[in-house]
Structure 1
Amino acid sequence: MRVALFITCFNDTLFPETGKSVVRVLRRLGHDVEFPYAQTCCGQMHFNTGYRHETRPLAESFAKTFAPYDAVVTPSGSCAAMVRDSYPPLADSSHSAEFARTVAAIAPRVYEFSEFLVDVLGVEDVGAVFPHTVTYHPTCHSARTLGVGDKPVRLLRAVRGLRLVELPRADECCGFGGTFALKNAATSTAIGLDKAEAVLESGAQVLCAGDNSCLTHIGGLLSRQHAGVRVMHLADILASEGPHPELDPYPSGAVRTVVTP
């Protein structure tokens, strides 16, 4: 099986280590991973903001770039949902039979990381070691659009040494929503503060999710409170092979309460 990594523009710019983690995990499981250098943005930001005409060239480029691969793996439920859920109606509205064919061919082969591990490879134990307390936030696109269900949780439960604790009100949105956080900052922050409070209630050292965009939003709110909780992508935890000494759930002088502005 020929596998490609779609790192996404957000991860490539801010969290390239997460892409490396995906590759490390898959190589540990005996699979080679290719990185097509022609890949760019999937167009989600343009599409969600109403610029559908501008999205089409990005979608066409995506389909052309990843056409040779049997599977496209991405550490982003959000971008996987864009390709699988939004590309087909975009192609249908284009009235281009060729574009519709390319989208129909590539969309089913795009997988969020946990989906690929559990559904395609049939693996839950990836050989990870992470002896820390973790709670998991199911991001909206992964949970509601892709329907990944408990796959990330099953992967976390198989990690040696990891103590998984429940996140209160886990099904609630974190408030990020891409450009929503920019256009509706006050509402986004209020929702995010509720999520940050739930993270602190869990008592976890680490908040885990399958989208670094959501983790950036929640992590920013936690860091401004000196909460002492680290955020980590699922792939980064699954790539771990031992303890992280820098993790301290209660650093000196930390404030463990949410301060609402």
Structure 2
Amino acid sequence: MKVSLFLTCLADVVYPASVGKSTVEILERLGCEVDFPKKQTCCGQPAFNSGFHRESRDVAKHMIKTFEEAEYVVSPSGSCVTMLHEYSKLFSEDPEWQERAKALSDKSFELTQFIVDVLKVDDVGAEFHGNVTYHTSCHMTRLLKVKEAPMKLLENVKGLKFTELPNKQQCCGFGGTFSVKMVPISEQMVNEKVEHIEETDAEVLIGADLGCLMNIGGRIERQGKPIKVMHIAEVLNSQA
């Protein structure tokens, strides 16, 4: 099975050595042949969320062409995969591009979604010892509708002790440009998220969206909390 990796901006710039590497190693271990289309760029979500839909269409066309020949497109970001699924709405008045956007949407998956729903794997053979909790990001759960896949995979990680995060449905306050435009509100939201994480006594916070993890992790670091932040790919790639 051939998989084209959509790494995303944050993974490429901030977390390539950990998240990108882990994603590729997991997929290859599960029998996938992974390639990395070098022409990929930002998915256009920042512009889209700020109302610049014309500019978003230009980015969408580039991404559609970049991944048009891919068998499957997989990304370690539920938020960015959600944006790929939004492309067809951008071309509601352009049937040709809407059809091409729909084709990309149909073959694009978040990492855990792909492992569980496409590869039909619930146990990747990971081993990770520690007390953890999991942050359910907004785009991934509410728009992409990926809720069970991460839990199924974490349940089968040997040595992992899991505690559900209180008020897990609440946003962490990142929201892309929201955290830049609404700083005081965003700060209060992430403070509340950190408080709930502390309630679990978790040593590690796990998530599947790097924007959220960057936001929460930054707050944890500034507050001097002894909590490690990890992307789920890093945990699933852990071996004894």
TM-score by length of 2: 0.97
CA contact (8 A) 2:88 2:99 kept: no
> Who is 1:83 aligned against?
84
Aligned AA for 1:146?
L
What do you get for the CA RMSD once the two structures are aligned? Answer: 0.9
Structure 1 residue runs of 4 or more that deviate by more than 4 Å after TM superposition: none
CA contact (8 A) 2:129 2:161 kept: yes
Q: Choose 1 or 2 for highest CA Rg.
A: 1
Matches within 5 A, 1:62-211: 62-84=63-85, 86-92=86-92, 95-211=93-209
Q: How far did 1:96 drift?
A: 2.5
1:200-229 CA distance string (max 9 Å, x none)? 111111100100110111111111121100
CA contact (8 A) 2:130 2:160 kept: yes
In the alignment, the residues of structure 1 paired with residue 152 and residue 102 of structure 2 have an alpha-carbon distance, to the nearest angstrom, of 30
In the alignment, the residues of structure 2 paired with residue 127 and residue 38 of structure 1 have an alpha-carbon distance, to the nearest angstrom, of 33
In the alignment, the residues of structure 2 paired with residue 89 and residue 102 of structure 1 have an alpha-carbon distance, to the nearest angstrom, of 12
In the alignment, the residues of structure 1 paired with residue 151 and residue 94 of structure 2 have an alpha-carbon distance, to the nearest angstrom, of 40
Report the number of matched residues.
Answer: 239
Aligned AA for 2:53?
R
In the alignment, the residues of structure 2 paired with residue 70 and residue 108 of structure 1 have an alpha-carbon distance, to the nearest angstrom, of 10
In the alignment, the residues of structure 1 paired with residue 56 and residue 160 of structure 2 have an alpha-carbon distance, to the nearest angstrom, of 41
Q: How far did 1:240 drift?
A: 1.0
Aligned AA for 1:70?
E
In the alignment, the residues of structure 2 paired with residue 138 and residue 67 of structure 1 have an alpha-carbon distance, to the nearest angstrom, of 30
Aligned AA for 2:3?
V
Greater strand fraction, Structure 1 or Structure 2: 2
**SS of 2:35 mapped into structure 1:** coil
> Who is 1:2 aligned against?
2
1:54-81 CA distance string (max 9 Å, x none)? 1112101111111111210001110011
Q: How far did 1:97 drift?
A: 2.7
In the alignment, the residues of structure 2 paired with residue 66 and residue 3 of structure 1 have an alpha-carbon distance, to the nearest angstrom, of 10
**SS of 2:197 mapped into structure 1:** helix
1:141-162 CA distance string (max 9 Å, x none)? 1110011112101111111111
CA contact (8 A) 2:205 2:229 kept: yes
- Please say which of residues 154-163 and 96-105 is displaced more in the overlay: 96-105
> Who is 1:256 aligned against?
none
Aligned AA for 2:46?
M
